[in-house]
Every structure is written in C-alpha cells, then in structure tokens.
Amino acid sequence: MDAASSLGLQVSNNYIYNEDGSTPRGTHYPYDLWGLSPAFINPAAGDYHLKSTSACINAGMTVPEITDDFDGQPRPNGGAYDIGAYEFRSQISPPTVTTSAVTAISMTGATSGGDVVSDGGAAVTERGICWRTTANPTISNSHIRASSGTGSFTVKLVGLSQRTTYHVRAYAINASGIGYGNDIPFTTSRDTTSRAVTTSSRIKKGEKIVPRTTIK
C-alpha cells in the first residue's frame, strides 16, 4: 500500500509475542493477541501450522477477499479466520491410497496407478507411482507424478529392464505427509524376438557381389 491509502488504517487482529514469554511493550488494539503463545507446530523447522491449543484459532480478522491459506485450503475454517498463514484443521493425516494392479507388462514397461481413497483432511497436492527392484519403494526412488486430488489414476512405466522384478507403490502427498499404497511386485517379460539371421538369398555361381555405394 502507499502512504496515502494507509492513513487511518487500523491494523488489527495481530499476533504479538515475545519468545522469552515476557509481555510485549506498548499498546494494542482490542482484537490483537498480546503475549499469548502462538503454539506453532514446529517454528524452528519453519512449520507455522497451528496446534489445537493455539490462541490464533478463529481470532483473525474477517477478510472475504482471502479465500485460502498457504496450503491452498479454504479459509475461514471452523467458522472464523485464524491469525497467521494457516487455518487450523484437526486430524490432518497423510492421504490413504491403494496401488492398482499392474497390467500391460512388456519388456520395458507396464501400466499401474492408484486410487486416493481419502485426502486425510487436506488437499492432495501430488500423487503418482514409485518403483524400484526391492520392496516398498518411496518417492526417493524412481517415481512418476500423476496430477493431484482424490480418486483413481493411471501411470505408464517406461524404460524398465527386461526380465527384471520390480516393486511399485502408489503415493499421495498432502500437508501432513506422504501416504503409500500396497507394494505390488511384477516381472518384465523377456525379449522373445528372434535374433537369428536367416539368409534369404544366395549367391549363385557367376554372380558378383556389388558393394553398395552412397550417392551424395
């Protein structure tokens, strides 16, 4: 905002707290929170989500223009705006996801996918399939993203090695963490195309072999 438009501005519903617990100096508006612990989840690690005990819950100013929080979740939640970057939501957990059966298995690829059956109380921002050659792969291993949200999705795996056993799991991510589906192993097929070279023509007596030349 510029200086002119800020004249007469009331900045209310703020949160003022000293880390040592002492009462902040000065005066404040009636709707400011003064010297109460914000009860962030883990501020040292940059997690400013609110604990259920936070005084910031439902203590924010109603600003209809603001319709979501830093997680992209709708705000207000629980009837009123919270102070801070995030609306408090109870019982947020990682999404629940199942892994779809592996089909269309070839030498170098297969089709799988998953079904996000529950978002865990927060929007599913990413989902997909991860895989490796041992059980219970994670997104630290090879993985393919397949959009976001709940419901079923399909992913094609490519670039696999033939005659190799892989394990796949679906995954889904929300603000609470990563949910994984069940581990499904499968084995890529063997290269069955013939490598034998058959001679389709023979050189008859008296014929010459003419080297091919490249016309430039």
Residues forming the site for Ca ion (CB under 5 A)? 58, 76-78, 82, 87
Q: Which is nearer to Ca ion, 84 or 95 (CB)?
A: 84
d(CA 80, CA 30) in angstroms, rounded, equals: 17
In the complex, least distance from residue 13 CB atom to Ca ion, rounded to whole angstroms: 12
Mention every residue, 6+ apart, whose C-beta is less than 8 A from residue 191.
107, 162
Is the distance from CB of 168 to CB of 136 less than 8 angstroms? no
Question: What token pair was written down for 184?
Answer: 């499904």
Q: Which is nearer to Ca ion, 82 or 119 (CB)?
A: 82
Q: Which is nearer to Ca ion, 13 or 112 (CB)?
A: 13
Q: Which is nearer to Ca ion, 89 or 127 (CB)?
A: 89
In the complex, least distance from residue 169 CB atom to Ca ion, rounded to whole angstroms: 35
H or E segment and range at residue 186:
strand 184-187
Is the distance from CB of 96 to CB of 88 less than 8 angstroms? no
Question: What token pair was written down for 154?
Answer: 């399909």
Answer left, alpha or beta for residue 121, where phi above 0 means left and psi between -120 and 50 means alpha.
left
In the complex, least distance from residue 73 CB atom to Ca ion, rounded to whole angstroms: 10
Kindly report the number of other CB atoms within 10 A of residue 156's CB atom: 13
In the complex, least distance from residue 147 CB atom to Ca ion, rounded to whole angstroms: 29
Q: Using CB atoms, what's the residue nearest to Ca ion? A: 78
Q: Which is nearer to Ca ion, 71 or 100 (CB)?
A: 71
In the complex, least distance from residue 81 CB atom to Ca ion, rounded to whole angstroms: 6
Q: Where are the alpha helices (DSSP H) in the chain?
A: none
Phi, psi of 43 (to 5 degrees): -60, -30
Q: Which is nearer to Ca ion, 89 or 167 (CB)?
A: 89
In the complex, least distance from residue 85 CB atom to Ca ion, rounded to whole angstroms: 13
